[in-house]
Structure 1
């Protein structure tokens, strides 16, 4: 699609950004209906009209800057692709944005679409959604390359909001588009990796292994050890789920090794967390506790990861009847939780800590009310069937101890139903 045709989308974006009405922009240049046709790509305006509209918007037409803008955009897109310093990403973004605001460029739409990814990296989910809604109005004008990133980044947004079925639908649309485009193999591998993660979240274990291996082949070929380590973690989780423990441990150890080569603490401790879950599922509590404590004791690790490991540690200590350590872990968990700005986003940790806190204090009515009315419905809503099993069984065993066998049977059935959901996914 040429720049003159694409200009309609550009004008619409710049006009709305400047909060200018169609009437204000069109006045004395073109009719309202003709401007509407330009913005909706129903007509190709003359260079004179383009110049007049751009002048009113405060935009210059300077083709000499096109290659500079393209180069800067390419660099910034690469920064979003890998894990980079957020301040550097923001600094580069501001530099490009100032060029976009004052120059007519073919790079505008792709830049605007990449803003979705940018806002997600910064954790600004509202801004990402606003950008999606804004671009949705002109998405009918996107070419195949625009559509590829449009689908992929919307998939990223859905994934960040735990809407994994919708994310997978969009990733598949992106995958279809990638087959028609000459996209860099690292970009294709990145799509395969996020699809592997999404399959893993949906418990499509064999698909998760398949897509991870596709991505891993590319990352290995290009000596991208960080991405290789991420892939080995997904493979480790997948093999753990189908009880191929030796393969799982092999992949987690590879991830640990590569994490240490990169001196990447986040990756090392993510792997320790996964090893903790593996040994927990094997019933080897001592080993599980050792790995969870590795994460908790590393203050360089993100707060959320440490909180996830504390939650797992609480459960592990409780299951081996080490109640003193359970209480200490709960106390530390609440200290970490209080440091989070948005507790709603990490509500699961609040539920876990309160569940075991009520059990430790023998406040059984509060325990029952929390797990029955809030926690299990929350997990079911998010289709987190693995945790439904854990907490439905915890509740059932509690009712057994209280000689409430009818209630115990009811929640064993809830756990069994969750098992069936995992088996059917």
Structure 2
């Protein structure tokens, strides 16, 4: 057992300095060496230090009653068994001394972050992660693995997809030197597929999705296999391999219908709509988007965002068909949803199409001063491109050629850099 790391953890947790803990027992300098595992002190010294911290020196982490329960909890979280995860969390909290043990506390907090993400409590998860970082010096290799994996998830939920990918790769590096379950390996590959997809590393995403899919299929895990097919479908669509993309979406839909996974069906139909839109099949895209709405149950922040995204897509498809009446109907439905689920981004989207249909003279100013700056701040390149090109065309018609060309250049630069955007992920 690494007593030094445990001592440092409990000292920091209790807000003691090295001088306060060491006073009358050993020197602060010697305590520093113990905490950094640079020396092995006498058992008598350790017993005195533990006693001052109010801890049982003879406590064994290996035989801790919560160890197996903790892993069981994490498995329920990874496989999104919400009820099981809630019950196991309550059991762990109630078990005596679970959170007083160094290793148990660290693992509990790491797994709790992922549990909070599962429950869509992103800000609380982020706060827990921030607090846990103070104890990073006391982590062993297994803790480091979970820490980097959880950090990758935090970055993903925050929209920092490249950072997410880098953290997950760190977790992958640690996984080679520790023992983890096969389902944890497949989970890591799937998370790598997600992060690389969102970071637009298409080949890497397909590679990791393939690795995860092979493992999930070997364990007959239908739900996770469907998730992988959705990721593959999105990335093949970006590569313009639309036949392969549709094949994966249909496979995901087939599985989701068998398992009655409404969330996956929602995602499948949204992404099929996106694919059909790319193929200029606007009526078929509309049908897919409308079908996706049937499976949106609004039980999470993501599903709320999926709903607004789908309503915006329906507005766009009707606009592309020149159907202003249909466009305004979906704008109205979008405005109704915004009263329940406020979003400045979608408020801007709906306002733009309303202004253009009504030939609003303030449209150019709206695009220049509110729309494009908003998406630049969010680094949402696809909409910077779309709205910049529209503004460039509008300014050209107004004979404002210099300003028009500047927005056209902005759009072209981003288009060249981010030419394969698109797709909605979990």
- Normalising TM by the smaller chain, what interval? 0.7 to 0.9
Q: Which residue of 2 aligns with 1:270?
A: 267
Larger RCO (CA under 8 A, 6+ residues apart): 2
SS state at 2:340 partner: coil
Structure 1 residues 48, 300: CA separation in 2 closer, same or farther (over 3 Å shift)?
A: same
Aligned 1:130-169 pairs, distance under 5 A: 130-169=127-166
Asked if 1:385 is matched to 2:378, the reply is no
Q: CA deviation at 1:282?
A: 0.7
Matched residue, 1:320 = 321
Provide the alpha-carbon RMSD of the alignment: 2.9
Are 2:368 and 1:372 aligned? yes
Q: 1:119 to 1:23 in 2, by over 3 A?
A: farther
In structure 2, the CA distance between the partners of 1:206 and 1:353, relative to structure 1 (3 Å rule), is: same
**Matched residue SS, 2:159:** coil
Q: Residue 424 of structure 2 aligns with which residue? A: none
Q: Output the TM-score relative to the length of structure 1.
A: 0.86
Q: Any conservation in 2 of the 1:8–1:41 contact (CA below 8 Å)?
A: no
Cα displacement (A) at 1:3: 4.8
Task: Verify the 8 A CA contact 1:400 1:408 in the aligned structure 2.
Answer: yes
Q: Within 5 Å, give how 1:266-345 maps onto structure 2.
A: 266-301=263-298, 302-340=303-341, 343=342
Counterpart residue number, 2:187: 190
Alignment: residue pair count: 415
Structure 2 counterpart of 1:4: 3
Partners in 1 of 2:25 and 2:125 — Cα distance?
34
Provide the secondary structure at the position in 2 that maps to 1:363: coil
Stretches of structure 2 lacking an aligned partner (at least 5 in a row): 422-426
Distance 1:94 1:33 in 2: 41
For residue 195 of structure 1, report the CA deviation from its aligned partner. Answer: 1.5
| Offset of residue 39 of structure 1 | 5.1
| Partner of residue 416 from structure 1, selected from 393, 412, 418 | 412
| CA contact 1:168–1:198 (8 Å) conserved in 2 | yes
Q: What does residue 398 of structure 1 align with?
A: 394
Q: Does the aligned pair in 1 maintain the 2:66–2:98 contact within 8 Å?
A: no
Give the distance between the partners of 1:224 and 1:186, measured in 2 at CA. Answer: 10
Aligned: 1:104 with 2:105: no
Describe the SS at the equivalent of 2:124: helix
Distance 1:213 1:424, change over 3 A: closer
Is this contact kept in 1: 2:197–2:231, CA < 8 A?
Answer: yes
**2:144 and 2:171 in contact (8 A); partners too:** yes
CA shift, 1:29, in A, is 6.5
Structure 2 match to 1:122 = 119
Matching residue of 1:239 = 236
Give the 3 Å change call, closer, same or farther, for CA 53–188 of structure 1 in structure 2.
Answer: same
How many Å apart are 1:121 and its aligned residue? Answer: 2.6
Secondary structure of the residue aligned to 2:177 is: coil
Rounded to whole Å, the distance in 2 between the matches of 1:139 and 1:406 is 53
Give the whole-Å Cα distance in 1 for the aligned partners of 2:47 and 2:92.
22
Check conservation: 2:388, 2:411, Cα contact below 8 A: yes
Residue 285 of structure 1 deviates from its aligned partner by: 0.4
Matched-pair contact (CA < 8 Å) for 1:233–1:251: yes
Deviation by residue 1:331-362 (Cα, 9 ceiling, x = unmatched): 2112222223xx4xx54323212222322343
Deviates more, 1:125-134 or 1:303-312: 125-134
Cα distance in 2 for partners of 1:148, 1:206 equals 25
Q: Cα distance, 1:56 vs. partner?
A: 5.9
Structure 1, residues 235-255: CA drift from partner, whole Å, max 9, x if none? 111111111111111111011
Q: Choose which of 204, 208, 211 in structure 1 pairs with 2:208.
A: 211
Q: Distance in 2 between matches of 1:137 and 1:35?
A: 19
Structure 1: gaps of 5 or more residues = none
In structure 1, which of residues 74, 88, 92 is the aligned counterpart of residue 88 of structure 2?
A: 92
- 275-284 vs 299-308, which moves further: 299-308
Distance 1:326 1:43 in 2: 72
Structure 1 distance, partners of 2:280, 2:420, is 24
Alpha-carbon distance in structure 2 between the residues aligned to 1:104 and 1:164: 34
245-254 or 24-33, larger mean C-alpha shift? 24-33
SS in 2 for 1:68: coil
